[in-house]
A and B are shown apart, each in its own frame.
Chain A
Amino acid sequence: MEERVLLEVKGLKKYFPITKGLFKKTVGYVKAVDGISLNIKCGETLGLVGESGCGKSTLGRSIIRLIEPLEGQVIMDGVDILSLNKDEMRKQREKLQIIFQDPFASLNPRMTVGDIVEEPLKVHKKGAQNERNEKVIELLKMVGLNEQAIGRYPHQFSGGQRQRIGIARALALNPELVICDEPVSALDVSVRSQVLNLMNDLKEKMGLTFLFISHDLSVVKHISDRVAVMYLGRLVEIADKNEIYNIPFHPYTEALMSAIPIPDPEYKKDRIILKGDVPSPANPPSGCYFHTRCLYASKICEKNQPELVNYGNNHYAACHKVDRIRKER
């Protein structure tokens, strides 16, 4: 794999205001993304996992400015894309595409499949009409749909097929980075594996880079090269997938991994059951956000926010207790 960094995220923040009363006075902020830095390398699939409300989708959308971040930088080809104006950003979007979770809500029900897939080509003024038509057919074939699909409407397709249409649309402009926001979460098991295989094939064929956002850790492990774990708007751990799944450093990652049900009745393991719920991102705990549920927490965790530290092998974790946890194993 190439080691070139395709996209660099630096200290990205997105707070949503909480308003109250008649005059919508701001009474607080939901810290959905709270200072995240990471690199996405050329040709890799970076998995981003976390529980609902941890800010993983907000992060994905902030990177391509579907949501305007509050502060931070997103650097691609030496340019901070957050500083681009509207026209420049539109140009940049050719390289940055997104696949959405809900194959029912993300396709316009009044447009034919042909129009849906053609739209990005039109917007970016790619080729003449007949060239675009050819490209649409090529794209549909690539995702395993036949030519007749062009004249049909989204409601005539099943969930898995709709997700294929969404993929064809995202790939129409030959993007470099595709943000996949829970692309298979709404699909049934037997269809899910079809779509996952397709995505992997296309990635290899077109040399794509994926940021794969999901709450399903088994799926993320299957598709990713590296995995990043988020908790309450912050990164808690990021490492090579085999590293992070076999020897997680952060207690949250460890609990998350152990909570996944394995489809094998003979498989026995010690499950770590976390106490309580995820705290509200509007009012996160002090210090390390995880200390209220952590088995290893001590005084320092309540006071200081841990930094992401490289523990060798590009295995980063943000925890005060990593050394102790590693010793105990």
Chain B
Amino acid sequence: MEPLLEVKGLTTSIKTKQGYNNAVEDVSFAIDRGEILSIVGESGCGKSLTAHSILRLITSPPVYITKGEIFYEGRDLLKLNKHEMRNIRGNKISMIFQEPMTSLNPVYTVGKQITEAILLHQNVNKKEAKLKAIDMLKTVGIPSPEQRMNEFPHQLSGGMRQRVMISMALSCQPELLIADEPTTALDVTIQAQILLELKKLRKQFNTSIILITHDLGVVADMAQNVLVMYAGRVIEYGSVKEIFSMPMHPYTSGLLHSIPRLDQNVNKLHVIDGVVPDIGEMPKGCRFWPRCGKAMSICQEKQPELFELQEHKVRCWLYKG
């Protein structure tokens, strides 16, 4: 079966005085209908930029998509014109952002903002749109939605705002939802509520979800497949089950070992030495070698490819054929 979305060799660069810096380099992945794929990595690794590139929500200049293809149902999104792209956004692919406070317009009521999206993308009148909006608010678990419709974003709590964002994103029943750190700004008990809503929605509408997060706990809980990124590159890609039980890349395994876990007691946490390199000063070869305990001489010279070991892909010289 053809995947819903296929990204091939996506490279997104930031133009600077010194030339182009690849903030996202040669990223490829695919997502099926009803699948939850997680993109995980630390701040600045390019996970958000990858997502924004899919919807072409990047500001050029200074950011440009310089290479790659993004196939959605067989069509390359990068070749569409403005008008065609607008029909994709919201209708087919929707996005929810990390900051529910800044992504909602403070001067319009919640109801107005959701109906606006519905009116824009669907062939309905105002009354129908309003009913649909109320229905959506109910779906995401907002109590007394009729009343909430007339409230402004500042009258809602963080969790409620994120629910409004989700209901807005889902109001046109998109086939793919891109969720960029949807629960990072929320408390754990509220995070648990929102994650449960996302799972329910996926079941109900068979929506595919790209879940961007830095929290490996959320990945383990939600996703089937995971893409681990480091310094703009995909370094490991495979099923969540495999990667969590058998991480291959030294970075992935270091990351998994450096989180304190509730179900284990340790005296000393595992440490990955050093810091993520600056985008202008990427090391030659593998971008992780200065922090890697297993670095060899080849790592400093040549960039490893994404080696394929059955379903599991890893960008590390240790696993060369």
Chain A residues near B (Cβ < 8 Å): 51-52, 158, 160-161, 188-194, 196-197, 200, 215, 217-219, 221-223, 242, 245, 255-267, 271, 273-274, 276-278
Contacts and interface: CB of A to CB of B under 8 A. Distances in A.
Contacts, number: 126
Interface in B143-157: 143, 157
Nearest to B222: A261
Given A255-B189, A262-B220, A197 B268 contact: yes
B159 interface: yes
Contact of B269 (A188, A222, A257): A222
Report, nearest first, the 6 A-B pairs whose CB atoms are least far apart. Answer: A261-B217, A222-B260, A193-B258, A51-B187, A193-B269, A188-B42
Interface magnitude class on chain B: 35 or more
B254 interface: yes
Contacts of A219: 260
Interface stretch (B94-102, B124-132, B164-172, B237-245): B237-245
A259 B258 contact: no
A222 B266 contact: yes
A267 B220 contact: yes
Interface stretch (B55-63, B271-279, B313-321): B271-279
Contacts of B268: 197, 200
Given A189-B258, A215-B188, A265-B220, A197 B271 contact: yes
Given A189-B216, A218-B217, A260-B262, 9 more contacts: A188-B42, A188-B276, A193-B269, A215-B187, A222-B266, A261-B218, A263-B244, A264-B244, A266-B241
B50 to A, nearest CB: 18
Contact of B188 (A256, A266, A267): A256
Interface in B249-301: 254-256, 258-263, 265-266, 268-273, 275-276, 291
27 contacts: A51-B190, A52-B158, A52-B187, A160-B275, A189-B259, A190-B291, A193-B271, A193-B272, A215-B187, A219-B260, A221-B260, A221-B262, A222-B260, A222-B266, A222-B269, A255-B189, A258-B192, A261-B191, A262-B263, A263-B216, A263-B244, A263-B256, A263-B259, A266-B241, A267-B220, A277-B159, A278-B187
A258 B196 CA distance: 13
Contact of B190 (A189, A223, A277): A277
B188 A259 contact: yes
A189 B256 CA distance: 9
B66 interface: no
A263 B188 contact: no
Given A190-B272, A215-B187, A277-B159, A265 B262 contact: no
Identify which of B160, B216, B275 gathers the most chain A CB atoms within 10 Å of its CB. B275
B260 A259 contact: no
A263 B259 CA distance: 9
B214 to A, nearest CB: 7
Contact of A189 (B159, B191, B193, B255): B255
